[in-house]
Amino acid sequence: MLLDCFTANENEGFVKSYCNEKKIPFDAINDNPPFYKSSSRKIYYNILLDDRAGLREAFDHLEKIIHHLNTNS
C-alpha cells in the first residue's frame, strides 16, 4: 500500500514537515505510484481522503476495515 499526499501546496518541504509533525504517514507527495504512468497532474488513487469530500466518513470506514482485518487474521 502506498500513501501519497496530493496537495495544491507547492511548498513540498512545508507539506513534509506538517505531515511529520502531525504523525501523518506518507510515501510520496504529488507523485504517482510506479505502476501508473500518466502526464496528468492528478494522481492515481484507490481511496481519497479529502477535507471537502467526506473525510470523516472515509476515515471511519478505513478504521473499521483495519479493525476487521486485524481481528480476523
Task: Give the C-alpha separation, 21 to 15, whole Å.
Answer: 10
pLDDT tens string 1-59: 678 888 888 899 999 999 899 888 888 898 888 888 888 888 888 877 777 777 788 88
Task: Give the C-alpha separation, 17 to 23, whole Å.
Answer: 10
Distances from the Cα of 49 to the Cα of 5, 45, 61, 62, 63, angstroms:
10, 10, 11, 10, 12
Question: Cell 500513501 identifies what position?
Answer: 3
pLDDT tens string 16-25: 999 899 888 8
